Amino acid sequence: MTSATDSPLPAVTRLIATDLDGTLLRDDKTLSDRTVAALAAAEEAGIDVFFVTGRPARWMEVVSPHVQVHGMAICANGAAVVDLHDGRLLGVHPLDRAIALDVVAVLREAAPGVSFAVELATGIHYEPAYPPFHMDPGATVAVAEKLLHEEAPGAGTPVLKVLAHHPELAPDAFLALARGLAGDRASFTRSSPTALLEISGLGVSKARTLAACCAERGITPDEVVAFGDMPNDVEMLSWAGASFAMGNAHPAALAAASGVTLTNDEDGVAVVIERILAAR
């Protein structure tokens, strides 16, 4: 692996794909002035910038002003493509409710103490024991089996992902357990420092949806530079022609990337964008 200053870059960079938390955003969840300037300069140079995140669309306010003409973001780890100009869903790759119920049952048996939240295209709903962070005041509180039932609030609305939290298991151990038990039925990843799994439809990932968006624009993987820091970025970092794990990245992200840049608090994404623009 090479550094931000000497890692090979594409001969032509047409698209920058960047994760948000732990990557583009500082630890205080803000964008630095340097990063804002780098994003604007990339767009002015004709390079598309795609935000590719595990966040739902409703948590994109921090970067919404910085999408330019295309207005697009890939949210929920690839389960949704959103127009941030008007909030419209442009594409959805849902998790089947019956499969979600099966996965919930498997994890309840294998990991006593687990609690769940259900992320719909319209908002989040969660169990009473689920950790109370970033909660939507309009959320329904009920067991996951009820939330996923066809007659539950939001029935018929696509399930973007199910979140599974465990208060005691080590994060990577919980991920390995879930993948071993149900990895043939759904996609499991994580982006939180806690034991919080993100469960999507089988095969859904940031990379798969990004690849489809790029194909629609005639952009090939070797024209893409990607940035990330956690296991949910691994496929995207592997897919892109050039990719950078942050200096603060999880070992899996570091192993998947072709280079490493500075940490998110040190404007690691901006450092590489500035290098891309200087080489044009």
Looking at residues 10-18, what average pLDDT do you find? 93
pLDDT of residue 3: 63
pLDDT tens-digit readout, 260-272: 999 999 999 999 9
pLDDT tens-digit readout, 109-150: 999 999 999 999 888 999 999 987 665 777 888 999 999 986
pLDDT at 95 over 90: yes
Banded model confidence at residue 2, pLDDT cuts 50, 70, 90 = low
pLDDT at 11 over 60: yes
**Is the full-model pTM beyond 0.85?**
yes
pLDDT of residue 154: 58
Task: Quote the percentage of the chain above a pLDDT of 70.
Answer: 92
Looking at residues 72-83, what average pLDDT do you find? 93
Q: What is the mean pLDDT of the chain?
A: 91
DSSP for the chain reads: -EETTTS---SS--EEEE-IIIIIS-TTS---HHHHHHHHHHHHTT-EEEEE-SS-GGG-TTTGGG--SS-EEEEGGGTEEEETTTTEEEEE-PPPHHHHHHHHHHHHHHSTT-EEEEEETTEEEE-TTS--SS--TT--BS-HHHHTSTTSTTTTS-EEEEEEE-SSS-HHHHHHHHHHHHTTTEEEE--SSSSEEEEEETT--HHHHHHHHHHHTT--GGGEEEEE-SGGGHHHHHHSSEEEE-TT--HHHHHH-SEE---GGGTHHHHHHHHHHHT-
pLDDT tens-digit readout, 232-246: 999 999 999 999 999
| Whole-number CA gyration radius for the chain | 18
pLDDT at 152 over 60: no
